[in-house]
Amino acid sequence: MTQRLHLVFGGELTDPSRNVFKNVADIHIVGMYPDYASAFAAWKGEAHKTVDNAHMRYFIAHIHRLRDEESAASPTEELG
C-alpha cells in the first residue's frame, strides 16, 4: 500500500483573492499527516481559529504526489 502524506500549513496572504503569502518566514507549519482525513481535521481546526481574519489561509499539500508524480490520485481516492 502506498503511503499518502499530507502537509497542513498556512499563513497571512497579501490579498485574500490570491494565494501569495505576505511573509514566507511566518508560514505556520501545522504538521504532516498519514491520511487525508486527519490532515483535513487539522486544517479545519486551524482554519476555524483564524476565521475572523480574511487574509489568513490554511492549505493541505499532497506530499505523496511529489514522490510519485506518475500516478494521479483522485479526491475520492484520498478519502478511502
Question: 53 is in which domain, residue-wise?
Answer: 6-79
Residue 14: CATH number of its domain? 3.30.70.2400
Asked if residue 51 belongs to a domain, the reply is: yes
Question: If pLDDT is split at 50, 70 and 90, which confidence band does 64 have?
Answer: confident
d(CA 44, CA 61): 14
Asked if residue 40 belongs to a domain, the reply is: yes
Query: How far is C-alpha 33 from the geometric centre of its chain's CA atoms?
Result: 10
Q: What pTM was computed for the model?
A: 0.76
Domain total of the chain? 1
| H helical segments located in 1-80 | 36-49, 63-67, 75-79
Asked if residue 36 belongs to a domain, the reply is: yes
Question: If pLDDT is split at 50, 70 and 90, which confidence band does 22 have?
Answer: very high
Residue percentage of the chain with pLDDT more than 70: 80
Asked if residue 1 belongs to a domain, the reply is: no
